[in-house]
Amino acid sequence: MAEYDDAWMERDLVGYGPDRPAFAFPKGAKIAINFVLNHEEGGERSVEDGDEHAETTGHEFGAVLAAEKGRRDPATESQFDYGSRAAIWRIMKLFKKHDIPITFYAVGRAFERNPTIAKYAEENGHEVAAHCYKWRPYTGMSDEEEEEYIRKAVNAFKTTSPSGKVPSGWFYGRPSSRSVHLVNKVYKDLGHEFLYWADTYADDVPYWTCRPGGSKDEGLLMMPYSLDCNDFKFWISHYTSDEAFEKHIIDAFTTLREEGLEGKPTYLTVALHSRWIGRPGRLQTLKRLIEYFNQFDDVWFATREQLAREWVKQHPYKPKTA
């Protein structure tokens, strides 16, 4: 296994301190909202798709399941199928009604198995960010094996996109310590833009780090993601009701909007999964949240790519000096 320079993930517990940089949004908005839809269905672990065992997490059973090697798990598979067959279109109809662009954290294999969703996302103004090729842990692999997954992901996005667009943003969810190095390497080899990395929870606004494998003048933009305003908490039973989930997100919105009114706007990430929020009994929660946000005239609904490009424009990378 190759040795990697871990300077890019040097821990910084100071950050911006009490006076974070200003983040100006279009039309004077005081808060940006980024809806992220994790599209993993069809890209989860399954024996039918060549994995050793079925997926053990992220389903309605509410616990980590023991998986039998070499045996399919039709009950779990069908839950993921629901997200791709039915729930996704219920969710997309809602966002289309309110003209809200969102970010897909898309698994490349999921797009390959239902390219209609890839086509719809691009043609309706949504961002596609890479959730790698399979939704699985990436620790324990060799460098070569993980790099192969990255290259397969790039090919999957390129071939399912109507325009051949390759995502500029990445979020693994379960990365290895070498993942960001390998994504940067592959993108450099293939000539694609690697704009941001989202496997971080360290702040409320973007921040820069040095780019792994790059020169001292090259930075990598880190785009913090959300684990608390995330419907996966239904699976781990942190939210025992839709109302609790809804209230938590509204409270987060209120706090961040108040900070925006004080002159320091930031963004709120609301993280979703089709197979959860797209169930009939949960969709009304999303509907109420959108209607609540729309009461305010100082909200900007943005994709992560839009937010990243605004940050790059307003706060370009400045290499650290010794």
What pLDDT is attached to residue 239? Answer: 61
What pLDDT is attached to residue 213? Answer: 82
- Local confidence band at 191 (pLDDT 50, 70, 90 cut-offs): very high
Secondary structure of residue 44 in the 3-state scheme: strand
Q: With contact defined as beta carbons under 8 Å apart, do 286 and 56 qualify?
A: no
What pLDDT is attached to residue 76? Answer: 80
The two three-digit tokens of residue 322, written as one number: 């010794």
pTM to 2 decimal places: 0.93
Name which of 73-82, 208-217, 279-288, 299-308 the model is least confident about: 73-82
What pLDDT is attached to residue 169? Answer: 98
User: How many angstroms separate the first and last alpha carbons of the chain?
Assistant: 30
Domain boundaries, the chain: 22-314
Instruction: Give yes or no for residue 256 having a pLDDT over 90.
Output: yes
22-314 maps to CATH 3.90.1150.10: no
Q: Tell me how far apart the alpha carbons of residues 190 and 167 are, in angstroms, rounded to a whole number.
A: 13
Classify the C-alpha dihedral 43-33-207-24 as positive or negative.
Answer: positive
Q: Tell me how far apart the alpha carbons of residues 320 and 322 are, in angstroms, rounded to a whole number.
A: 7
- Local confidence band at 53 (pLDDT 50, 70, 90 cut-offs): confident
* CA 260 remoteness from chain centre: 23
Listing DSSP states for 95-113 in one string gives HHHTT---EEEE-HHHHHH
Neighbouring C-beta atoms of residue 19, cutoff 10 Å? 7
Q: What are phi and psi of 316, to 5 degrees?
A: -60, 155
What single letter denotes the amino acid at residue 149? Y
Instruction: Give yes or no for residue 44 having a pLDDT over 90.
Output: no
- Local confidence band at 322 (pLDDT 50, 70, 90 cut-offs): low
The two three-digit tokens of residue 132, written as one number: 């790698």
Instruction: Give yes or no for residue 319 having a pLDDT over 90.
Output: no
